[in-house]
Structure 1
Amino acid sequence: MKKSLIAMLALAGALNAAPVAVVNGESIDDAIFGPNPAELKQMPADARKRLIDSAIDRKLVLMEAKKEKVENSKEYKTLAQLAEENVLIQLWEKKQFDAIKISDAEAQNFYNQNKNQFVVPAQVRAKHILVQSKAEADAIIKELSALKGEALSAKFSEIAAAKSIDKGSAAAGGELGWFPKTQMVPAFGDAAFALKNGEMTKKAVQSQFGYHIIYKQDSKAQQTLTFDRVKDNIIGNLKAQKLQGDLAKKVENLRKNAKIEYK
């Protein structure tokens, strides 16, 4: 039931699809990229184009399959019937899901009893330069040590882009974004969280990846998300949980009232 529930929720996004390409007169909609097609617009242009190009290739193969009358095969008809049945089941389950009502009071009660689930750990925003040797790391630290503020940040990014062997972050000037301590290897996480905002490590931090120079840009204290911020998610989760129980009871009743013969 869980897999069909996920598919059911994804189906809702498909009903509000927008075209991203047209192939031989046929439209390709953004819904094929998942339950949150709006995320496609937020992707970098090159990554977005790669996804769309892949969808175009798929559409061309589909057209070729239709041209060769694959839909007339026995295998296709069997699979098509199963697919049609799955869509019917998903829509029926969506109807049951939409009918479930969870009050604000129920959601508030769940929030009050499970506040630990809504704790966002302390985070820092940092960038780093990763090199292979301690000697190279020490030389970079020496070069940067006389700088402060914006001058330090700008030069740090410049060196990260030129010398960091972490090519993913190097392309963004060493930028790692926001992260909790546990997301990083212990040595890196400990060093980053020990820094003050705007401060750089005075010694290279060694990890299994090499030697890091870390520049801490900003920090956020641990916080508990307010009820208003998580209410919709709580209601959705409670509805999904209730749906599982409701479906089990409905199927049990259907079995009781059905004539079933094992062959």
Structure 2
Amino acid sequence: MPIRFRTGLVAAALAAGLLAAPALAQDDASGEVVARVNGEPISADALAQLLAQQTQGRGEVTAAQRQQFLDEVITVTLLAQDAEARDLHREPDIAAQLENTRRAILAQALVRSLSGEDRVSDEAVRELYDERFAGGGDREYRARHILVPERETAVGIIDELDAGGDFAELAAEHSEDSNADNGGDLGWFAAADMVGPFAAEVEALEPGEYSDEPVETRFGWHVVQVDDTRATDPPAFDEVEDQLRMELVRRSVQQYVQELRAEAEIEYEADWAEPAQD
């Protein structure tokens, strides 16, 4: 199905793209030039990139639509040239936008080039799988909790538990969560399914134990009791291979960034900018 261009919106989008990419104004020795505007070339590669950005890979572009799009690019190029003739690109806010966009485009291009799957060997992926799942799959927890809005209330509940109170009854009486009538029972879950502080508390408790201090999350204050735990079967290698490979790719990119920072000469000009020393 042919793509329908929205002329006004295309012009606005192209303005952002062209003004942010000074490389479009340079001849590409290996590429075809499809038009020149006051001597400034518009390459076939630049036009194709802008078309791909506009269509997002959906549908076909007819010859008439390609011509229409080229006309939009020519119009925006004329506007950009006139803006430069008026020295608008030297205004501090516009210059900052251009520089920030240039940096972002180049940084993203480098990250993409560093993220090729060939940076990670099949052996490394298999080693991570063996390391990650040597002890079986994820551990799951059967737990219950009591959610209250105030820490003092949670402390009082823990005192009642210490005195022999029944967790399920206290949950039904005090908890503001939807499972209060069910004794605060959360069923089986993986720690990763819960918010950080709650997950950490669950992992620290043995079956039959409950919190000795209230646990705060964005939902309020919790008293947690773990009823049981179980290990799940590990996933098959082919089910998680892509996920593990991308994890190793991210690690590789992060390591490269750390090396760049370590080798760079970074001078902080503003007093507030320099990070605190450990």
With structure 1 as the length reference, what TM-score do the two structures score? 0.38
**Higher RCO (C-alpha under 8 Å, 6+ residues apart):** 1
> Which is richer in helix?
1
- With normalisation by structure 2, the TM-score equals 0.36
Bigger CA radius of gyration: 2
